[in-house]
Amino acid sequence: MNQNRFPLLAGLIAFIALLAYSSIFVVRAGQQAIVLRFGEIVEVKSDPGIYFKLPFGFLEADNVQMIEDRLLSFELDNIRVQVSGGKFYEVDAFLVYRITDPRKFRQTVSGDVTLAEARLRTRLDASLRGVYGLRGFEAALSDERTGMMQEVREQLRPDSETLGLQITDVRIRRTDLTQEVSQQTFDRMKAERLAEAERLRARGREAAQRIKAIADRQVVEIIAEARKESEIARGQGEGERSRIFAEVFSKDPDFFAFYRSMTAYGTALDNTGTTMVLSPNSEFFRYFQDSQGTLPPVSGATPPVAPKPAPQ
């Protein structure tokens, strides 16, 4: 009798355990639980812990759907946007959000994160195109970048709220030129740099010419001033020389004649390659014959008579 009751007792215990297992669910940190009864939302559990529900969810009694209760993010890469100037650029961005209204999230996208992100991607792409289309490329590289991200987030806010989501942040990670625009920009920058270099060279040549002209004028002025001073000094020297010669001549005419003859000898007999044929008895060589400069008598001529001394 006892042996027949044991399988029944074991089956009863197993049934109670299965009943208890199907009636308990656990909500962990970073999760939210939506309790569904016959497809309708009964309640939402957001705090971590152990909770109870009606057993046997397969009978459409109570089912539990777990959704995230933490920050989620996704990236949107290589978005081709057109700026106000008409050129195209490639933009990378990412979006951070969290599920703040589980009921609305379940009702709109059946609690599917992938479906919700697909809708956000479409809206983010459109918002980025609109924000960039109103500005130039330089705006994304300036202080306007923060304002652009805030504008995109504000445009996404209404759609995210209809999904039960809250947009926490929107960031633009990269803004680059497309390949064709990059080449055009490179060519334009190269042309601008070459033009700037040519302008600098022209300014350098102009400055060099100006400095050279000033230097040349200063050289001419300095040389002219030096020549003037040298001519003045030379004139003064010549005048002083003439004065000294005149003074010496007046004091001793014989010495002056001797000095002038010696100077003439030095000049005429210098190693200049010039040949002169003169008589040794000529006036020019009179100091070669006599220190007093007395010329010798000419052959056949009457010798000069010495003057008689004056009577005492």
Q: Which of 53-62, 144-153, 155-164 has the lowest mean pLDDT?
A: 53-62
Q: Is the pLDDT of residue 252 over 60?
A: yes
Per the DSSP assignment, residues forming a β-bridge with 309 are none
**For position 312, what pLDDT does the model report?**
40
Do 209 and 251 lie in a common domain?
yes
Question: Rounded CA gap, 198 and 193, in Å?
Answer: 9
What is residue 68's predicted lDDT score, i.e. its pLDDT? 87
Helices (H), the chain: 2-23, 102-109, 113-133, 144-162, 179-251, 253-268, 286-289
208 within some domain: yes
Q: Is 299 helix (H, G, I), strand (E, B) or coil?
A: coil
pLDDT tier at 46, thresholds 50, 70, 90: confident
Paired strand residues for 172: 93
Question: Is residue 305 pLDDT above 50, yes or no?
Answer: no
Q: Which of 145-154, 168-177, 212-221, 256-265 has the highest mean pLDDT?
A: 212-221
The pLDDT of 46-53, averaged and rounded, is 79
283: nearest Cα among 269, 293, 270: 293
Residue 33 β-bridge partners: 45, 66
Instruction: Indicate whether 77 and 46 sit together in one domain.
Output: no
Going by pLDDT thresholds of 50, 70 and 90, the confidence category of residue 310 is very low
Quickly count: other Cβ atoms within 10 Å of residue 226's Cβ.
10
Average pLDDT over residues 59-71: 79
* Best CA proximity match to 175, nearest among 196, 149, 213, 155: 149
Residue-wise pLDDT for 160-193, tens only, equals: 999 999 999 888 888 777 666 666 677 788 888 8
Which residue did the predictor score with more confidence, 301 or 129? 129
Residue 139 phi, psi (nearest 5): -60, -40
Q: Are residues 74 and 155 in the same domain?
A: yes
Report d(CA 150, CA 173) in Å as an integer.
Answer: 14
> Can you read off the two tokens belonging to residue 149?
């991200």
Cβ proximity of 156 and 116 under 8 Å: no
Closest CA to 259 of 249, 250, 268: 249
Beta bridge partners of 132: none
- Mean pLDDT (the chain) is 78
Q: If you average pLDDT over each of 26-30, 86-90, 183-187, 294-298, which comes out highest? A: 26-30
- What distance in Å separates the CA atoms of residue 175 and residue 93, rounded to the nearest whole number? 9
pLDDT value at position 269?
63
Please state the separation of Cα 19 from the chain's center in Å.
74
Q: What is the pLDDT of residue 45?
A: 83
pLDDT value of residue 277: 66
What would the pLDDT profile of 220-251 be if each residue is shown by its tens digit? 999 999 988 998 998 888 888 888 877 777 77
Write down the pLDDT at residue 308: 44
Domain-embedded: residue 63:
yes
Query: How many domains, the chain?
Result: 3
Mean pLDDT over 210-224 rounds to 91
Domain boundary (241, 262, 283) is at 262
pLDDT digits over 270-303, tens only? Answer: 666 666 666 666 666 666 555 555 555 554 444 4
CATH number of the domain bearing residue 124: 3.30.479.30
Residues 112 and 152 in one domain: yes
* Rounded mean pLDDT, 124-141: 80
Domain region containing 28: 17-67
Residue 5 domain-assigned?
Answer: no
> Residue 307: is its pLDDT beyond 50?
no
User: Of 45, 67, 149, 70, whose CA–CA distance to 114 is shortest?
Assistant: 67
| Segment among 87-91, 206-210, 273-277, 292-296 with least mean pLDDT | 292-296
Q: Kindly state the average pLDDT of the residues 146-158.
A: 87
Residue 92 lies in a domain: yes
- Check residues 53 and 286 and name the one with the higher pLDDT: 53
Average pLDDT value for residue range 117-140: 84
Residues 6 or more apart in contact with residue 89 via CB below 8 angstroms? 80, 81, 82, 83, 132, 137, 140, 175, 176, 177, 178, 181
Residue 107 lies in a domain: yes
In this structure, what token pair is assigned to residue 181?
A: 């625009």
If residue 173 lies in a helix (H) or strand (E), which one and from where to where? Answer: strand 165-177
Structural domain includes residue 306: no
Q: Give me the sheet containing 165-177, strands edge to edge.
A: 72-82, 88-99, 165-177
The answer to whether residues 76 and 170 belong to one domain is: yes
End-to-end CA distance of the chain: 206
- The whole-angstrom separation of Cα 96 and Cα 49 is 27
